[in-house]
Structure 1
Amino acid sequence: MNHSTPSSHLIPVTDSIASTGLGKEKGVIVVSEAVCQQIMGRADAFVAVQNVFSAMARHTAYNFPVIREAIGHADALYGFKSGFDRDGMVLGLKSGGYWPGNSEKQLTNHQSTIILFDPDTGKLASLIGGNYLTAIRTAASSAVSINHLARKASKTLGIIGAGHQSGYQLQAALDQRSFEKVVAWNNDASKLTKLAKICEERSLPFESVNRETLCAQSDVIITITSAFEALIKQEWIKPGTHIACMGTDTKGKQEVDARLFSNATVFTDELAQSITIGEAQHAVSAELIQSNDIIPIGDVINSTHPGRTSDKEITLFDGTGVGLQDLAVASAAVELAEVQGQANYFNL
């Protein structure tokens, strides 16, 4: 399985199901969590996410309004993300949420399933395990931002957070630049051992540091936490830094100083989510920036925006996580499972 990032852009993961006819007469396709982990690599996720960001910027792919609610049981948040990609002919939704007590049960706190439908008929087409795919699509999103926005000479990578997704974020980021060192911070430093092991396996120096030191050293910073307060101050960020804010996906969450938005060129996956539930919500509400100051990352991918324009420019990517990302990686997983003979079929 190839986990590296393709050097070219907008390449299909495989031939589309529509062109191959795979699965059309075999019933509903089921791709399990185990199969997704076996067949879906970082390179596949990168291509799928980059393609859908491109389609979103061209307005040929649309996210539908997100539903996210506390269910009043097990402290769980549950919801739906959905959309339609006309270019890829992918229609569906991700159903799932966050169960904070799952770690005590040896389960992932985030649980989800992705459901795809035939856009021509509305019939159920596929059921795909969503936990692993959510992790790699989130990592692919920050990786796309690093690929297009970080300075080519970036040497030190900083990670804020050590939760379930942090390892995926680290691996995907390391594919994008020739980093020479990784520094990290977590509220409980003992949990950084997972990131340290990844760096050891890749022969990269790793150091646990405080947040101010991390910002002083890092050329690229990824925040991947569930914080409701700023963990990074504006004055800590040095010129030329690229920051990928990946943890804020709910009203009230916050990872970085809102004042930072005034000094940065800001990009996002989707504007509507960025200003309402993403990291930009605080800067917009404080009138530090306006919504039209925020640039879709797809515009950079499509070369309709230059992206970074100088080595001293601070760039910030607000990765809110959109349903189309989930549908894109799920569609790619279905194609790969069929091609590799790993798909199961059921008549429902």
Structure 2
Amino acid sequence: MLVLDEKAMLETVSMKDVMEAMKRAYCLYENKQYEMPLRTQLQDNENTFLLMPSIAHQSFSLKIVSVFPNNRQHPVTQGMVILIDRQTGSAKALLNGTVLTGLRTGAIGGLAVDYLSPADVKTVGLIGTGYQGLYQLLAVCTIRSIDRIYLYNRTSSKYPAFIAALKNRLPSEVEIHIAAQPLDLVQQSDIIITATTSSTPVLPDETNIWNGKLIVGIGSYQPHMREFPDALYKNATCIFVDTPDAIKESGDIRYPMERSWLTELQMIAFSKVVTNKVNHTFQTDCPTIFKSTGMALFDLVVAEMMYERAIAKQTGAYVHL
């Protein structure tokens, strides 16, 4: 079995590679060329364990994830991905699930920006300066010529390390600013990304600030979690979702639907945009909203690509079980 750690994975693929893999995953999803049950969630007080299996191509995969929102010295989201040969049942690879999740979730946000925002956007704001937020910004800066980034985090002590990691991986001309309040961040940004595990909205509940902006929510993955404020929905015509499971899983989808602010017909599968079954035209008179809760198929497709690239580059370490 091939074991791929963080160093091997980052040497094997780029963010652009992962985004191309995610396009293939959306095509598999739209054409129903996969098997994937709803993920299992186990709650341990405020901490969550998730099991995410999937079958596609020549592989089974299982991602085991832990989400510990109070972590300070470790990433909030951690895990591992096991890749198994579909023909023999033998384990092919064990991958660092923390890195894989960061890359593929970043690629999800990057694709949302690619398909749903104008090509000339220059500014992006991020709420939540954790591990997931880093990869969101790296993906956006891969797909757009961003010149200004605005950050907001409730724990200000996280800024220095986060900014240092950003500067190490972005062009020096990209300006990085700390916003005093979320409202300042929204007003300055063309694209707003939320990457938190908050149970209450992290964006300002202001009505007249959202039109002509793309809002990408990647944090809330349980019914009690919310990142979006009530005001965001008031002028929304639809929400793009990476999977209809978000309707059951995320408070950012369930909450407005339970209040009849939006209907299920206004939830548009993003796979239909990627496969050109839905044509999206960016509008300046309403917000464009994308909500992701992720799915195991994404992990499988990215893990397969990393496994194949690692073999070709002769990287990683083999172990016998």
TM-score by length of 2: 0.90
Alpha-carbon distance in 2 for matches of 1:273, 1:243 = 16
- Count residues with an aligned counterpart: 315
Alpha-carbon distance in 1 for matches of 2:34, 2:54 = 7
- After superposition, what is the alpha-carbon deviation per residue over 1:201-249, rounded to whole angstroms, capped at 9, x for unaligned? 5312222221112112211111111111112225153321001001111
Q: Which residue of 154, 179, 183 maps to 1:187?
A: 154
Report the equivalent of 2:82.
Answer: 115
Q: Does 1:141 align with 2:108?
A: yes
State the 1:276 CA deviation: 2.7
- After superposition, what is the alpha-carbon deviation per residue over 1:88-144, rounded to whole angstroms, capped at 9, x for unaligned? 3332110121245653xx433322111122223433332222111111111111001
Report the equivalent of 1:97.
Answer: 66
State the 1:278 CA deviation: 5.4
Report the equivalent of 1:244.
Answer: 216
Report the secondary structure of 1:115's partner residue.
strand
CA 214–245 in structure 1, closer or farther in 2 if over 3 Å, else same: same
Alpha-carbon distance in 1 for matches of 2:257, 2:103 = 29
Q: Which residue of 227, 233, 257 maps to 1:261?
A: 233
Q: Does 1:42 align with 2:15?
A: yes
Letter in structure 1 aligned against 2:245: A
Alpha-carbon distance in 2 for matches of 1:308, 1:155 = 19
Letter in structure 2 aligned against 1:216: Q
Letter in structure 2 aligned against 1:81: M
CA 337–242 in structure 1, closer or farther in 2 if over 3 Å, else same: same
State the 1:36 CA deviation: 1.5
User: 1:249–1:320: 8 Å Cα contact kept in structure 2?
Assistant: yes
Report the equivalent of 1:288.
Answer: 261
Identity among equivalent positions (%) equals 23
Q: Does 1:208 align with 2:178?
A: yes
Q: Which residue of 195, 201, 212 maps to 1:224?
A: 195
Letter in structure 1 aligned against 2:201: A
Report the equivalent of 2:129.
Answer: 162
State the 1:196 CA deviation: 3.7
Alpha-carbon distance in 2 for matches of 1:184, 1:227 = 16
Report the secondary structure of 1:63's partner residue.
coil
State the 1:161 CA deviation: 1.1
User: 1:56–1:62: 8 Å Cα contact kept in structure 2?
Assistant: no
Alpha-carbon distance in 1 for matches of 2:40, 2:240 = 24
User: 2:210–2:232: 8 Å Cα contact kept in structure 1?
Assistant: no
TM-score by length of 1: 0.83
Letter in structure 1 aligned against 2:210: K
Report the secondary structure of 1:237's partner residue.
coil
User: 1:278–1:318: 8 Å Cα contact kept in structure 2?
Assistant: no
State the 1:294 CA deviation: 0.8
User: 2:192–2:215: 8 Å Cα contact kept in structure 1?
Assistant: yes
Letter in structure 2 aligned against 1:260: L
User: Where does the alignment leave 5 or more consecutive residues of structure 1 unmatched?
Assistant: 1-27
RMSD value over aligned CA atoms?
2.2
State the 1:290 CA deviation: 1.5
Alpha-carbon distance in 1 for matches of 2:74, 2:220 = 22
- After superposition, what is the alpha-carbon deviation per residue over 1:161-189, rounded to whole angstroms, capped at 9, x for unaligned? 11222221111111122222111211123
User: 1:80–1:96: 8 Å Cα contact kept in structure 2?
Assistant: yes
Return 46-55 or 195-204, whichever deviates more.
195-204
Report the equivalent of 1:63.
Answer: 36
State the 1:251 CA deviation: 2.0
User: 1:158–1:221: 8 Å Cα contact kept in structure 2?
Assistant: yes
Letter in structure 1 aligned against 2:224: G
CA 171–215 in structure 1, closer or farther in 2 if over 3 Å, else same: same
User: Where does the alignment leave 5 or more consecutive residues of structure 2 unmatched?
Assistant: none
Report the secondary structure of 1:179's partner residue.
coil
